[in-house]
Structure formats: structure tokens, C-alpha cells
């Protein structure tokens, strides 16, 4: 026996909002990056669950989750390098300290 | 050799010279630029002479046709509105070709000496070429719009030449004045053109001036009977066109720019403000003469009165001026007014059209002797370095050639036979006598005044006695580049007069209102009268100015008030200044400026202030903090999602 679709969706929704919450409230750039990873994973779970339950004989959902993992890896690399540069300039990685781009 | 085929060169050569000297002149040595301009203009003159002579020879004794040598559509705006550029040859344009090319060539040569060493020598020659191009284009115009275009071009080149010494504030002021006054008059000209062409649907002179059975069909059929405010539209249109001509030809009350225009170099004054450009107004009226004569005779009468008034008015002023160029300027105004009078009193056809012939003939002779007078004045100014009579006197021995040629020109303008001016002026007086006794009386007095002020000038410069303070340095005769043009023009003045006197060539065989040659009989009774007027003028001038005596001052003390009025040019300039400063600027412009500054600008400022403060208040939203953006974004997404869910329920 297997769990119904709703269980997967509940998990992914929880994961998504945990990610959003983290993105909005954490001050540390690394934590924000991790929150983004959570959001991406929530999307991946959705893809896989829908693929598994709605179109079991097709593979698009799996393919998309693979893409997401690849993009996430690349994006993390870029983000980390940005964070390192921020650290070199500001000697900290607090998101509040990089707010020069405004009116 | 068929000169007519070379007609495009008449316009192309001077224009090419304008471009070449204007663009590359500063790289040339000044002398080369001058000689280049002069020699190319000499070529142009040869072509002009060839065209004019071939035209007159080919058609002598027959009706002179209006030959359109070339005419191409330049601007094709709508089906009906086409502006073309072309080359029209008829007796008056052929005459003008001779006048312009002769005087312009003489001025080109003369300037080599007179302008020698001036800063901007090349620029001077470039503008001179531009002027020659524009003036030639004006007289050969096939349609009234082409004429208008070149009309403005001569205005521009006149502006450029008056302001040649642009470091002198007075020259800049004079240039602005000339340009603004003539532009103001040209506005009426343009309105007149638009009214005329709105009804007739054409600009073409050939169609506009075609005469059939004592009327001008195109104008009569389209505009006849239409009135506006009690005046016929034809009269309004042609009067407005005349006003444009009055501006260029310095008729009262537009004359104020011409005396000030003397700030320009003297040879340019000789060319533009004495011989060619200022007669453009006369030429314009002559060009449209059939319309004036048949469709608007009352306007022609008004032209005669304006001309008569202007001629006596400026002749009186000329008697009281002390700057020799200004005397000549007022004399020019007076003589051009003479030509206007001649057109005004003229009828159409044969002997009736004597005024028309006389006007064109006087235009021709006046251009020659007035250019000669101006160049002579230039040679005198060159010698004594002043425009004022007080710095001159007793110069006849020191400037023998200038003296002889100046005397010839003075005799010509005073109307003493056998010089050319006598015949042309005499015919004008005869024409006035036959048409209108009042105008005749005025012109007769002006003839006497002309002789007086010209010989006042002559005796004052060449006899009288040396100036009180002596000369700045010993005056000496001008170089040969300057004296040769004087001699040539003096020769023309004498020869044309003698040709007429001995009946070798009568101008009336060449130019007449209906293009048919006719013979003029000299009316000796009137001729003797006018010679008498001239001699009386000369005698009075002789008594007063031949020797240094107190007589001029005694005479002035008898007529102190009128003398001061005439010396100050009857305060016309002051009236203009008063009207513009105290009435137009104070009463009209200042309230408008206030309205603009406070109401219109104020409204705009209010809008700007409103936008500015609104954005000041809301700019804090963009605070640079990524997390607050994310918060707004996510809330937005949630709200939109909820709304779309609600929509489904």
C-alpha cells in the first residue's frame, strides 16, 4: 500500500512555507540560501508526486525535478560566490547590510 | 553661339562660387579668393550680356515674347500646388540681367581695392556671390513663389553684408533693423501671394499677366466681383504685394532701414542698397503691371501718391544730412520713389505706357550712376577716412579721376543733358504731367531738390575749402582696381545718354508695357522746364557751397526749425521706437509675458510640484531590503490566489 497524493502535497506545501518563512525572517545570507533550496525542493516534490499519481506512464515530472536539482546546484555556486564577495567587502553576511540599491 | 543654352550657368556659377569661397575660402589666400570670385563673375556677366543682347536682337521691332528657357518642378506639394524654378526672359528681366551683371562685376573689381587687407575678405566675396546669385534668380523668376524665395535670399545676403563689420555694434543694429523691417513687409507680400494664388490657382507669371481685350482674364474671372470689407479682393491682394515691394524698395514708411544699412562696406552699399536689391520692389510692380493696370487702377494711383510723398520727403532729408553716404541713401530712396511714381502714373500700351518704360529706364540709368556715386564716395572715404562732410573739401586736385566721374554722375542725377539721367527723369516727369498734375508738381520740385543736394555734396567735397583741422594725412587717389569701375560706369552713363539723344537706340524700343516697341518724342517744353529746375538747384548749391563762406549757416538760421527736423529725419525712427517700445512692448507684450510667466508657467509648476511631492512621499517603499520585497511579493501572490479561488466559488 502507498500513501495518497494529498500526503505528498501537504509535505511539499509545508516545506514551501517553511522556506518562505526562512527567506523572510533569517538575517544570514547562507540561511536565506538554504531557505531557497527548501522552496526548490518543495517544487520538486510536487513535480514527482503529480507525475507518479496522474501520469504514471510518462517521465516529464522526473525530468523537471532533475533540471531543478541541476539549476539549484548552479545557482548555489553563484550565490555562494556572491556571498563570499559580500563578506570580503562588509566583513559580515547580514542581509540588512546590503541595501544600497534603493531610491 | 547660342547663349540661351548657357542660361543655367547664370544661376549656377555665382552659387558655386558662394559654396567654394564660403566653404574653402579661409584656406585660400585672400587675393586668390577675390580674383577667383571676380573672374568667375566676369564669365557670368558675359553670359548675361549674351543672353540679353541675343534676345533683343532676335526680337527687335516685333512683339517681345515671354520666353521660358527652362522651368522644372521643384516642390510638388499637391496637384495644384507646384513650386517651380525656372528662367523667364522678357524685356524687363533681360534689362535687369544687364544692370545686375554690370554693377555686380564693377563692385567685384572695385572691392579688390577697397576691401584690401580687411579681415574676412573671403567671406565678403562669398556673400557677394550669394547676393548675385539671389538677385539674378529673382529677376528671372518664372513664378511669383520663386521670386519670393529669391526675394528672401537677397534679404539674407543684404543682412550678411550690412553686418560685415560685426564687431561694430552699430553695424549689427543696422543689420537687424534692415532684416526685421523688410521681413515685416515681406509678411504682407506673402499674404498677398497666397490670396492671389488661392483664387487663381497658379503662381506662374506667364498666366497671371496675360492680357486679352483690356483685361487680365485669369485674375478677372476668378477674383472679379469678390469683395472683402468693401474692397475688392484683387485690390487687397495686389496692394499687399506692393507693400512687400515697398519694404524692399524703402518706400515711406518702411524707408527707415536703408540709411542705417550704410553701415556695411561701401561697395556692398553700391550694389545692394543703391543699384539692385532696392529696386526689386519696382521690378515686382513692373512684373505684375498688367494686373495693377487693368484690375486694380486705384491701387496704382495709391502707389503714385506713396511714391510722390516718399520722393519729396527723402529729398528734403537728403538736403540736411552731413554724412555723405546718408545723403546718397536718401537720394536713393527718393529716386526709387521716382520709379514707383512712374509706374503709378503709367497706363498700358504704346505711348500710354510711357511711365512703365520711363520707370525701367530710370531703373537702368539710376543703377549705373548711383553705383558710380557710391563707389566715388567709397574712394573719397578711402582717402579721408571719414564719412562726414566736415572732414572733406577741396579734393578735386587730389582725387582727379574720382572728381571727374563723380561730377558726371551728379550731372546725370540732376537731369542735365546729355547724360542718361536727364532722359529717364524727363520721361517720368512727362508721364506724370499727362496723368496727374499734383504728382507732376511734386516730382518737378523733387527734380530741383535733387540737383541741389547732389551739388551740395559735390561742391562740399571737391571745392569749398580744406577742412578746419586739415586732413588726417594727405589724401591720394585710389588704386586702379577702384578707379577703373568708376570710369566704366561713367562711360556707360555718358554713352547711354548720347545714344538716346542722337536716336541711336531708344529704350522704348526695348521695354514697354505691352512688349511692343514704340518711339518716344522728347517733349521739349517739359524737358526745358526740368532742365531749368536742375540748373536752379545747381546754382543755389553753387552760391552756398562753392567757397567757404558763412552763407550756409545764414540760410540755416532762417529755417532753423525745418532744418533740425530734416536733419533728424523728421523723427520717423523715434516714432517707430516710441511705437514699439511704449505701445507694443509696454501695452501688449508685457501683459502677455506676465500671463505666460505666471498663469501658464504657474500651472506647469503646480503639476511638477504635485508629482514631485507624491513621489517624495512614496519613495520609501523601495528601501533596498530584499526581504521586504519578498514579503510584499508573497503577500501579493497570496492575495491574488485567494481572489481567484473566491472567483471559482
pLDDT tens, B287-327? 999 999 988 889 999 999 999 999 999 999 999 888 999 99
Q: Measured between CB atoms, does A20 come within 8 Å of chain B?
A: yes
* Contacting residues of B for A102, CB less than 8 Å apart: 622-624
> Using the beta-carbon criterion (under 8 Å), do B624 and A100 form an inter-chain contact?
yes
Q: How confident is the model at residue A12 (pLDDT cuts 50, 70, 90)?
A: very high
Among the ranges given (B58-67, B272-281, B640-649), the one the predictor scored with the smallest mean pLDDT: B58-67
B460 and B317 fall within a common domain: yes
Whether B469 has its CB under 8 Å from any CB of chain A: the answer is: no
Please list the alpha-helical segments (H only) found in B321-353. Answer: 324-344
Same domain, B461 and B605: no
pLDDT in tens, A22-48: 999 999 999 999 999 999 999 999 999
Q: Does some domain include residue B521?
A: yes
Q: Is residue B474 in a domain? A: yes
For residues B73-90, average pLDDT: 86
Question: Nearest Cβ partner of A20 from B620, B625, B634?
Answer: B634
Question: Is the same domain home to B412 and B558?
Answer: yes
pLDDT tens, position by position, B540-574: 999 888 888 878 888 888 888 888 888 888 888 88
Percentage of chain B beyond pLDDT 70 is: 100
- Asked if A86 has any chain B CB less than 8 Å from its own CB, the reply is no
Whether B398 is in a domain gets the answer yes
- Residue A67 placed within a domain: yes
pLDDT-based confidence at residue B331 (cuts at 50, 70, 90): very high
Task: Give me the mean pLDDT over the B514-539 stretch.
Answer: 85
Q: Which of B619, B626, B634 sits opposite A103 (nearest CB)?
A: B619
Residue A95: its chain B contacts at CB < 8 A?
625-627
**How would residue B611 be classed by pLDDT, with cut points 50, 70 and 90?**
very high
pLDDT of res. B309: 93
Kindly identify which residue of chain B lies nearest to residue A25, measuring between CA atoms: B627
Q: Is A94 helix (H, G, I), strand (E, B) or coil?
A: strand
Q: Does A23 touch chain B (CB under 8 A)?
A: yes
- Please state the φ and ψ torsions of residue B525, each to the nearest 5 degrees: -60, -50
Could you give the CA distance from residue B614 to residue B622 in angstroms, rounded to a whole number? 14
- Do B415 and B471 lie in one domain? The reply is yes
Q: Is residue A24 part of a domain?
A: yes
**Partner-chain residue, chosen from B624, B627, B630, that has the shortest CB–CB distance to A102:** B624
Domain extent at residue A33: 5-94
ipTM of the complex: 0.88
A53 occurs within a structural domain: yes
Contact B160, B127 (CB under 8 A): yes
Which tens digit of pLDDT belongs to each residue from B155-194? 999 999 999 999 999 999 999 999 999 999 999 999 999 9
Contact indicator for B432, B345 with CB cutoff of 8 Å: yes
Whether residue B253 has a cis bond before it, omega within 30° of 0:
yes
Q: What is the mean pLDDT of residues B435-452?
A: 91
| A23/B620 CB distance under 8 A | no
Of B380, B356, B619, the C-alpha closest to B513 is: B356
Q: Are residues B417 and B548 in the same domain?
A: yes
Counting residues of chain A whose pLDDT is more than 90, the rounded percentage is 72
Pairing between β-strand B67-76 and β-strand B227-228 as defined by DSSP bridges: unpaired
Are the C-beta atoms of B420 and B354 separated by less than 8 Å? no
Q: Determine the distance in angstroms separating the CA of A57 from the nearest CA of chain B, rounded to an integer.
A: 31
- CATH number, domain of A27, equals 1.10.287.3510
- Closest-CA distance, B168 to chain A, in angstroms, reads 54
Q: Which domain holds residue B435?
A: 307-481+511-567
B1: confidence class by pLDDT, cuts 50, 70, 90: low
Are residues B438 and B519 both part of a single domain?
A: yes
The residue among B106, B105, B125 whose CA lies nearest residue B115 is: B125
Torsion of CA B246, B249, B254, B260, to 10 degrees: 170
The CA distance from B536 to B409, in Å, is 18
Of B620, B625, B634, which is closest to A96 when you measure between CB atoms?
B625
Alpha helices in B395-550 (DSSP H): 400-414, 420-435, 437-462, 480-501, 524-545
Contact across the interface for B622 and A102, Cβ inside 8 Å: yes
Mean pLDDT of B32-48: 93
Nearest CA in chain B to A36: B630
| Residues B395 and B535 grouped into a single domain | yes
Looking at the structure, do residues B360 and B469 belong to the same domain, yes or no?
Answer: yes
Report chain B's mean pLDDT, rounded to a whole number.
89
| Nearest Cα residue to B331 out of B418, B243, B270 | B270
Residue B641 has pLDDT above 90, yes or no: yes
Is B463:B326 a contact under the CB 8 Å cutoff?
A: no
For residues B583 and B602, what is the distance between their CA atoms, to the nearest angstrom?
A: 26
- Residue-wise pLDDT tens digits, B244-283: 999 999 998 898 999 889 888 999 989 988 889 999 999 9
In total, the C-beta contacts within 8 angstroms joining chain A to chain B are 28
The 10s digit of each residue's pLDDT in B583-592 is 888 899 999 9
Smallest CA–CA separation between A4 and chain B, in Å?
24
> Looking at the domain assignment, is residue B225 inside a domain?
no
Q: Tally the domains of chain A.
A: 1
Mean pLDDT of B464-492: 84
Looking at the fold, whether B321 and B459 belong to one and the same domain comes out as yes
| Nearest residue, CB atoms, A99 vs list B619, B625, B631 | B625
If one counts the domains in chain B, the total is 2
Can you give the pLDDT at residue B241? 93
Q: Select the residue of B620, B624, B631 nearest A99 (Cβ to Cβ).
A: B624
Does one domain contain both B384 and B471?
yes
B545 and B591, same domain (yes or no): no
The C-alpha atoms of residue A82 and residue B518 are separated, in whole angstroms, by 102
Per CB-CB distance under 8 Å, the chain A contacts of B620 are 103
User: Closest-CA residue in chain A for B616?
Assistant: A103
Q: Pick A102 or B443 by higher pLDDT.
A: B443
Q: What is the pTM of this model?
A: 0.81
Res. B394 pLDDT band, cuts 50 70 90: confident
Q: Does B79 touch chain A (CB under 8 A)?
A: no
State whether A24 and B619 contact (CB < 8 Å): no
In a domain? residue B329: yes
In a domain, B453, yes or no: yes
Verify whether the Cβ–Cβ distance A24 to B620 is below 8 Å.
Answer: no
The alpha carbon dihedral of A91, A94, A98, A99 has a sign of negative
Same domain, B437 and B366: yes
CA–CA distance, B278 with B366 (Å, rounded to integer): 12
Measured in angstroms, the CA of A80 and the nearest CA of chain B are apart by 17
Chain A CB within 8 Å of residue B635 CB = no
Does some domain include residue B112? no
Kindly identify which residue of chain A lies nearest to residue B623, measuring between CA atoms: A102
More confident position, B571 or B522: B571
Q: Is residue A101 one of the residues assigned to a domain?
A: no
Q: What distance in Å separates residue A84's CA from the closest CA in chain B?
A: 18
Q: Is A18 on the interface with B (CB under 8 A)?
A: no
Query: Is residue B269 assigned to a domain?
Result: no
pLDDT at B116: 86
d(CA B289, CA B383): 44
Amino acid at each position: 500500500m502507498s500513501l495518497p497524493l494529498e500526503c505528498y502535497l501537504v509535505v511539499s506545501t509545508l516545506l514551501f512555507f517553511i522556506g518562505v518563512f526562512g527567506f523572510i525572517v533569517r538575517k544570514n545570507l547562507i540561511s536565506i540560501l538554504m531557505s531557497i533550496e527548501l522552496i526548490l525542493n518543495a517544487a520538486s516534490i510536487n513535480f514527482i508526486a503529480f507525475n507518479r499519481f496522474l501520469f504514471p506512464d510518462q517521465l516529464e515530472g522526473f525530468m523537471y525535478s532533475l533540471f531543478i536539482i541541476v539549476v539549484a546546484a548552479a545557482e548555489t555556486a553563484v550565490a555562494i560566490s556572491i556571498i563570499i564577495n559580500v563578506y570580503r567587502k562588509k566583513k559580515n553576511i547580514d542581509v540588512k547590510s546590503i541595501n544600497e540599491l534603493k531610491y | 553661339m547660342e547663349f540661351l543654352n548657357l542660361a543655367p550657368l547664370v544661376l549656377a556659377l555665382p552659387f558655386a562660387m558662394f559654396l567654394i569661397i564660403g566653404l574653402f575660402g579661409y584656406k585660400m589666400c585672400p587675393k586668390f579668393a577675390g580674383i577667383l570670385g571676380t573672374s568667375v563673375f566676369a564669365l557670368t556677366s558675359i553670359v548675361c550680356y549674351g543672353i540679353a543682347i541675343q534676345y533683343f536682337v532676335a526680337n527687335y521691332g516685333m512683339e517681345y515674347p515671354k520666353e521660358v528657357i527652362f522651368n522644372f518642378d521643384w516642390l510638388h506639394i499637391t496637384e495644384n500646388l507646384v513650386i517651380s524654378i525656372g528662367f523667364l526672359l522678357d524685356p524687363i528681366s533681360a534689362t535687369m540681367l544687364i544692370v545686375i551683371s554690370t554693377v555686380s562685376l564693377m563692385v567685384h573689381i572695385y572691392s579688390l581695392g577697397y576691401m584690401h587687407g580687411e579681415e574676412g575678405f573671403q567671406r565678403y566675396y562669398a556673400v557677394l556671390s550669394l547676393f548675385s546669385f539671389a538677385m539674378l534668380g529673382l529677376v528671372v523668376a518664372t513664378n511669383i513663389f520663386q521670386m519670393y524665395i529669391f526675394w528672401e535670399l537677397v534679404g539674407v545676403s543684404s543682412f550678411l553684408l550690412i553686418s560685415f563689420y560685426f564687431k561694430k555694434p552699430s553695424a549689427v543694429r543696422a543689420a537687424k533693423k534692415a532684416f526685421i523691417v523688410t521681413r515685416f513687409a515681406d509678411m504682407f507680400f506673402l499674404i498677398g501671394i497666397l490670396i492671389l494664388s488661392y483664387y487663381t490657382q497658379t503662381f506662374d507669371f506667364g498666366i497671371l499677366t496675360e492680357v486679352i481685350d483690356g483685361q487680365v482674364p485669369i485674375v478677372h474671372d476668378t477674383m472679379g466681383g469678390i469683395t472683402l470689407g468693401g474692397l475688392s479682393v484683387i485690390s487687397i491682394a495686389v496692394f499687399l504685394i506692393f507693400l512687400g515691394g515697398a519694404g524692399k524698395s524703402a518706400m515711406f514708411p518702411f524707408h527707415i532701414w536703408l540709411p542705417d544699412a550704410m553701415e556695411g562696406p561701401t561697395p556692398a552699399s553700391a550694389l545692394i542698397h543703391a543699384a539692385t536689391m532696392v529696386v526689386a520692389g519696382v521690378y515686382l510692380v513692373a512684373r505684375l503691371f498688367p494686373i495693377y493696370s487693368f484690375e486694380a487702377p486705384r491701387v496704382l494711383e495709391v502707389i503714385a501718391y506713396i511714391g510722390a510723398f516718399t520722393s519729396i520727403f527723402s529729398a528734403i532729408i537728403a538736403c540736411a544730412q552731413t554724412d555723405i553716404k546718408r545723403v546718397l541713401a536718401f537720394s536713393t530712396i527718393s529716386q526709387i520713389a521716382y520709379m514707383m511714381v512712374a509706374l503709378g502714373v503709367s497706363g498700358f500700351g504704346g505711348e500710354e505706357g510711357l511711365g512703365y518704360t520711363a520707370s525701367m529706364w530710370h531703373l537702368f540709368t539710376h543703377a549705373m550712376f548711383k553705383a558710380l556715386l557710391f563707389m566715388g564716395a567709397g574712394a573719397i572715404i578711402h582717402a579721408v577716412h571719414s564719412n562726414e562732410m566736415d572732414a572733406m573739401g577741396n579734393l578735386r586736385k587730389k582725387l582727379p579721376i574720382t572728381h571727374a566721374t563723380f561730377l558726371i554722375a551728379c550731372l546725370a542725377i540732376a537731369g542735365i543733358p546729355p547724360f542718361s539721367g536727364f532722359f529717364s527723369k524727363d520721361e517720368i516727369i512727362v508721364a506724370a504731367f499727362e496723368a496727374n498734375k499734383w504728382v507732376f508738381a511734386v516730382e518737378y520740385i523733387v527734380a530741383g531738390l535733387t540737383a541741389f543736394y547732389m551739388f551740395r555734396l559735390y561742391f562740399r567735397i571737391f571745392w569749398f575749402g580744406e577742412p578746419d583741422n586739415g586732413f588726417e594725412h594727405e589724401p591720394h587717389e585710389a588704386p586702379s582696381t577702384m578707379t577703373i569701375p568708376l570710369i566704366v560706369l561713367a562711360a556707360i552713363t555718358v554713352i547711354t545718354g548720347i545714344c538716346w539723344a542722337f536716336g541711336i537706340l531708344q529704350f522704348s524700343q526695348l521695354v514697354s508695357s505691352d512688349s511692343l516697341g514704340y518711339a518716344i518724342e522728347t517733349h521739349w517744353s517739359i524737358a526745358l522746364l526740368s532742365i531749368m529746375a536742375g540748373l536752379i538747384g545747381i546754382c543755389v548749391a553753387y552760391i552756398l557751397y562753392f567757397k567757404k563762406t558763412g552763407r550756409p549757416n545764414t540760410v540755416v538760421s532762417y529755417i532753423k526749425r525745418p532744418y533740425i527736423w530734416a536733419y533728424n529725419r523728421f523723427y520717423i525712427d523715434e516714432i517707430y521706437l516710441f511705437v514699439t517700445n511704449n505701445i507694443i512692448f509696454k501695452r501688449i507684450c508685457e501683459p502677455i509675458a506676465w500671463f505666460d510667466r505666471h498663469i501658464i508657467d504657474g500651472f506647469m509648476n503646480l503639476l511638477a510640484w504635485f508629482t514631485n511631492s507624491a513621489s517624495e512621499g512614496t519613495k520609501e517603499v523601495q528601501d533596498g531590503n530584499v526581504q521586504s520585497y519578498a514579503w510584499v511579493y508573497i503577500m501579493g501572490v497570496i492575495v491574488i490566489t485567494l481572489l481567484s479561488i473566491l472567483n471559482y466559488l
